[in-house]
Chain A
Amino acid sequence: MAYQVNKTIEEINEKIKKGQVVVVTAEEMIDIVEEYGPVEAAKRVDVVTTGTFAPMCSSGAFLNLGHSKPRMKMEDVYLNGVPCYGGLAAVDIYIGATSLPKDDPRNKVYPGQFKYGGGHVIEDLIAGKDVYLVAYGYGTDCYPLTKLETYININIINEAIMFNPRNAYQNYNCAVNLSDRLIYTYMGILKPKLGNATYCSAAQLSPLLNDPYFKTIGIGTRIFLGGGIGYVVWHGTQHTTDVPRGEKGVVKKPAGTIAVMGDMKKMTRRYVRGVSIVGYGVSLAVGIGIPVPILNEEMAWHTSVRDDEIWTQVVDYGYDYPNREGRVIAEVNYAQLKSGEIEIMGKKVPTYPLSSYYMAKEIAETLKRWISEGKFYLTKPVELIPSSGFMCKGLEIRR
């Protein structure tokens, strides 16, 4: 298809260099396309910035702790009591966002409080705090030390790299509870019999909803990650493409995801926060912003997507979700969700976000500023994120 507007990443970067680039947020782009149409909008705007801030469980960090004297092959590793994965080379570990200390009571006293876990360790590291390290090893001729206890912080360890296998979900379920008891879920506290509905997407500001077919986002895309710079390194786990789509190609249920990576030493605590989800566990809230280059009128059209054009499915977390029943109770759009009330099965249900639109906006604005000030250049992905042929498989329990 021939476009009327044709821009390249190189041309946009040239404009950034000269201080001539025009950057707007995905929220601002809505009105621009409405007023001038996609062709004129694509001529005027070079980059649209997006943002999202929400708990993203599939997150974590690779740490290289540096070699002790004498050396040690660390096997069992704890940071502030939180177990880390040590099945890598001598002093490489991975700390996952949802990891919990062995002595956390979990849900034994229901609902559990989950006061501290992997997400909080990552937040504390980024905040520059001292973190207590305990490591055990079995001892070898080359790595003789078998036990070590000390304090570390992000400035003294060798490397700290955030690596999140699945972030920035393209759309997400709206959760309700049809059962007759209060439930504690990763979608928050859900009151019985449709007492409330929660949702978790920045919708019109959400990165992957502004490029629904991954025409610009791919491996090597430079992004805002946790207040620092990161990269898209792969499609995320559970990446799904073949789902029903609505206006402007927007998916109508959770679909695409990305895996991201970035230097934790450059991040800030404001955008990387450990969270304690009552009755569920711990996780990590991550702030992500992706610049979408307006290469042609088609990208202008995609980035003009509005809350009322983005639909999602309402799912019962009382019975259906835990039992992997695929039932969809209703479809709602984000304008309805953001109004504070939706109607489901004839009942008026109050709605609440878990993802912070306030922070999403702040991230999109920050990225806009970085690009306008010439501090952030766009990259051309070496491979785009796949936009077809991906379905998320379940696990069948074989007996």
Chain B
Amino acid sequence: MAKEGALTVGKKVILNFPKHTWDKPVVYTLHSKFNLIFNILKAQITPNEEGLMILELVGEEEKVREGIEFLREIGVGVRFLAADIEKDEEECVHCGACASVCPSGALHIDRETYKVIFDKEKCVGCELCVGACMYKAIKIGL
């Protein structure tokens, strides 16, 4: 169980297993050692016997980080399916440049207040906004 008050996060990751790690009960370790809940979204073995798995990891932010570190240590390739985007409200000047490239509408201008709103639910993690923001107000987490 997640600790009271600790931030629970969900991350979609693409795992690449080299031949020697595929047989290890790696994925179960994520649960037993790091308390992470996982959903296997896709799993397949490539013709040259490497494994590919798309997982959603859910758990305490710190534990997700540790779990991913563990995977990398044993040689599993880890890539994030979607970047964890945050808009730093202290740095943001509400110019709108990020909204001009956002394909999902997650970043949009409120036509009443002229504030630029970030609706995380809609974000697909394409990272286009990161380069578009001239004020470095958009950060990629984890």
A356 proximity list for chain B (CB < 8 A): 93-96, 114
Chain A proximity mask over B45-82: 1 for CB below 8 Å, otherwise 0: 00000000000000000000000000000000000000
B116 proximity list for chain A (CB < 8 A): 358
B122 at the interface (CB under 8 A from A): no
**B96–A189 touching, CB < 8 Å:** no
Please pick, from A276, A338, A339, A340, the residue contacting B134 in the complex, using a CB distance under 8 A.
A276
B136 at the interface (CB under 8 A from A): yes
**B114–A198 touching, CB < 8 Å:** no
**B131–A111 touching, CB < 8 Å:** yes
Residue of B nearest to A55 (CB): B134
B37 at the interface (CB under 8 A from A): no
**A357–B114 touching, CB < 8 Å:** yes
A273 proximity list for chain B (CB < 8 A): 93, 135
Beta-carbon contacts under 8 Å, B93-125 to A:
93-97, 99-101, 109, 111, 113-116
Please pick, from B95, B111, B131, B136, the residue contacting A189 in the complex, using a CB distance under 8 A.
B131
B83 proximity list for chain A (CB < 8 A): none
A268 proximity list for chain B (CB < 8 A): none
CA distance A128 to B51 in the complex (A): 53
Residue of B nearest to A355 (CB): B95
> What total of chain B residues lie within 8 Å of the partner, measured CB to CB?
19
Residue of A nearest to B115 (CB): A358
**A189–B134 touching, CB < 8 Å:** no
Please pick, from A111, A188, A357, A358, the residue contacting B97 in the complex, using a CB distance under 8 A.
A188
CA distance A304 to B23 in the complex (A): 74
**A352–B94 touching, CB < 8 Å:** no
Beta-carbon contacts under 8 Å, A263-313 to B:
273, 275-278, 283, 285
A350 at the interface (CB under 8 A from B): yes
A53 at the interface (CB under 8 A from B): yes
**A361–B132 touching, CB < 8 Å:** no
A361 proximity list for chain B (CB < 8 A): 114
B134 proximity list for chain A (CB < 8 A): 55, 275-278, 283, 285
B109 proximity list for chain A (CB < 8 A): 340, 352-353
CA distance A111 to B95 in the complex (A): 21
**A353–B95 touching, CB < 8 Å:** yes
**A358–B100 touching, CB < 8 Å:** no
Take A111-B131, A275-B135 as given contacts and tell me if A189 and B100 are in contact as well, using a CB distance cutoff of 8 Å.
yes
**B94–A358 touching, CB < 8 Å:** yes
**B132–A358 touching, CB < 8 Å:** no
**A189–B132 touching, CB < 8 Å:** yes
B93 proximity list for chain A (CB < 8 A): 53, 273, 285, 356, 358-359
A329 at the interface (CB under 8 A from B): no
A335: shortest Cβ distance to chain B, in Å? 11
- Interface residues of chain A, those whose CB is within 8 Å of chain B, are 53-55, 111, 113, 188-189, 191, 196, 198, 273, 275-278, 283, 285, 338-340, 350, 352-359, 361
Cβ contacts A to B, 18 pairs, < 8 Å:
A54-B95, A189-B101, A196-B100, A198-B97, A273-B135, A275-B135, A276-B136, A277-B134, A278-B132, A285-B93, A340-B111, A352-B97, A352-B100, A353-B95, A354-B95, A354-B97, A356-B93, A358-B94
- Interface residues of chain B, those whose CB is within 8 Å of chain A, are 93-97, 99-101, 109, 111, 113-116, 131-132, 134-136
Listed from nearest, the 6 A-B pairs whose CB atoms lie closest are A352-B100, A275-B134, A358-B94, A358-B114, A356-B95, A278-B131
List 7 additional A-B contacts (Cβ < 8 Å) besides A273-B135, A276-B134, A358-B116. Answer: A111-B131, A188-B100, A189-B97, A189-B131, A275-B135, A352-B100, A357-B94
